Amino acid sequence: MSDVDSGQTYPECRPDQIVVGLPHVRLVGHRLVELGVWGGGSGRVVPDDRLGLALLTDLAGLPEVAGRVRAEYPAEIAALEAGGRSFTPLDLLLFTLRRGFGAEYAGWTPLLGKNRVLDRVDGTPYHWPIAMGADQPVPVDPVPVDGPGRPSADPGLGTDVRVGVLDVGLYPHPDLAGRYIAAPDALIEPKPDEVMQPWAGHATFVADLILRQAPGARLEVHRLLDASDGQATLWDAARELVRFDTSGVEVLNVSFGCYTADGQPPLLMEQAIDRLGSGIVVVAAAGNHGRHTDLAAGITPRSASWPAALDRVVAIGADDGHGRRAPFSPDLPWVARTAPGVGVEAAYLDATVQPWAEGPATPSTVRFHGRARWSGTSFAAATISGAIAAGMVPDRVSAHEALQRLLPPDEETAETY
C-alpha cells in the first residue's frame, strides 16, 4: 500500500501532517521525535477508532530532515528522480520512515500516509472546470409543479431505501422538502445579497437527480466540502464516510475525488471505504479529466481518480443521453458504466452566482431561480445511485442485486442508462 508519491501530487496535501495506523502511533511517534520533527509539546494526535487511524499534526523541521535523507540515500533518490519522481520534504520523511522500519523489521512497515486535500466541485471537485470539459451551470426556467418537465417515475420506487450523499451543503429546495435528513450545519441558506460560488448548488443538483429516479427514497446528506472554496481534507472525508456505516444507508453517492502522481490509492480513502459495511454500495463520479492533461499536476486522461478507481467502488462516467461517452468522461477500465451527464437539468440554488472566469464575455454574476443545466460525471453518478435505490425492495432486493441489474452483462456489451 503506497502513499509516497512525487511532489506533483494533485490535489496538494497538508505538508505538516501524516496519517498513521492506530496500533502504530507510539512507534511512529517515537521515530518522529528521534528525527526532530515532532514533539516538544507542539504535536497533536487525533485518533479515530472507526477509521483505525490517527492524524499526527504540527510536524516541523522537514527541510532539515529532507536534507539528511538525501545525504543518506543519494544514489537511490537520484535514481527515482531520474525516473521522473521529485520529492517534497514530506515525501522524504515518509521515505525514510518506511525505509528505516523496513530495515528494522524484515520488510514490515506501519500504515503511513498523507492527509491530502480534496479540491472544489465541478461535476466532481477537480480544478480547471472549463478545460476539463464539465460546463458551468446555466439557469433554466423553473418547472411548474404539474409541468411536463417533472419526473414521471413511479412515486413508490425506492420506498424505505436510504441513500447517502456526501457533498457540499444542501440548499433546501422546495422540490426536496420532506425527502432528506440533514443536520442544520449541512444546509446552505443564501443571504439575500450574497453571491454564491457555482459549486454551492452541487449537492442540491445531485439530490434532485437521485430522487428523480427513486421518488420514494430518503436522502441522508452530510456536508463535507466547503461552499465557499469547495475544499476539504481527506481526513475529514474519511471520517464522514465511515459515519454512514451505521446510519442505515444502503447506497452512498460520492462526487469528489483526488489524484496521486504514482497512481496508487490514498491510504485514508482506501481505509475509509474498507471500513464501510459490505451491504453498502458506494457510487462515485469517475472524474471530468477525459480530455485533460496537466503534466505539472500529474494528471492525464489515463489518471485514476480516487475513490472511483477503488475495487469496492462503482465508478460512473458520463454520456450524452444517447449512449455516446462525453469527451470529458475518462475511458478507463475501472469505469463500470455511463449515464446521462451532458446538459442535465435539475434543482439548483435560488441565488446569485459568480461564474468561473472564462473570458471577457462571461458575466460577473448570474441569477438562478432554483433550476439549472449542468454537465459532469457527478450527475451521471447521481442518476445511477437513484436507479439502484429504485430497483431495491427492502428485505427482498438488496442494493448489490439492484446494481447488478444495471451493469453491462459482459465486457463486450456496453449499456447506458
pLDDT digits (tens, 9 = 90+) for 336-349: 999 999 999 999 99
DSSP 227-261: TTT--EEHHHHHHHHHHGGGTT-SEEEE---B--T
Q: Tell me the per-residue pLDDT of 177-190, one tens digit each, with 9 for 90 and over.
A: 999 999 999 999 88
Supply the DSSP symbol for 393: B
Q: What is the pLDDT of residues 205-240, one digit of tens each?
A: 999 999 999 999 999 999 987 766 667 889 999 999
Neighbours of 321 (CB within 10 A): 16
- Inter-CA distances, 197 with 38, 120, 209, 254, 374, Å: 38, 10, 20, 20, 14
- The SS3 of residue 402 is helix
Q: Which pLDDT score is estimated for 257? A: 82
Antiparallel, parallel or unpaired: β 281-285 and 313-319: parallel
The pLDDT tens digits of the residues spanning 38-81 come to 986 678 999 999 999 999 999 999 999 999 999 999 999 999 88
Mean pLDDT score, 124-145:
58
Give the fold, CATH level 3, of 138-404: Rossmann fold (3.40.50)
Q: What is the mean pLDDT of the chain?
A: 85
- Per-residue pLDDT at 362 exceeds 80: no
Give the least confident one: 147-151, 336-340, 351-355, 405-409.
147-151
What residue ranges do the domains of the chain occupy?
13-116, 138-404
Which residue's C-alpha cell is 544514489? 75
Greater model confidence, 407 or 147: 407
Return the ∠ at Cα 365 (arms to 362 and 366), rounded to 5°: 95
For the chain, percent of residues with pLDDT exceeding 90: 66
Give the angle subtended at the CA of 280 by the CAs of 275 and 281, to the nearest 5°: 115
β 344-347/371-374 pair status? antiparallel
**285-337 confidence digits (pLDDT tens):** 998 888 766 555 567 888 888 899 999 999 999 999 999 999 999 999 999 99
pLDDT at 204: 96
pTM: 0.86
- The residue with greater pLDDT, 253 or 412, is 253
Report the C-alpha gap between 98 and 111 in whole angstroms.
9
Q: How far apart are the C-alpha atoms of 280 and 392, rounded to whole Å?
A: 12
Burial class, 320, CB count within 10 angstroms (exposed 0-12 / middle 13-18 / buried 19+)? middle
Percent of the residues in the chain that have a pLDDT greater than 70, as a whole number: 84
Give the per-residue pLDDT at 149: 46
Task: Quote the CA–CA distance of 109 and 130 in Å, as a whole number.
Answer: 42
8, pLDDT greater than 50: no
Distance spanning both ends of the chain, measured CA to CA: 35
User: Distance between alpha carbon 266 and the CA centroid of its chain, in Å?
Assistant: 12
Which pLDDT does position 227 carry in this prediction? 66
DSSP assigned state of 197:
P
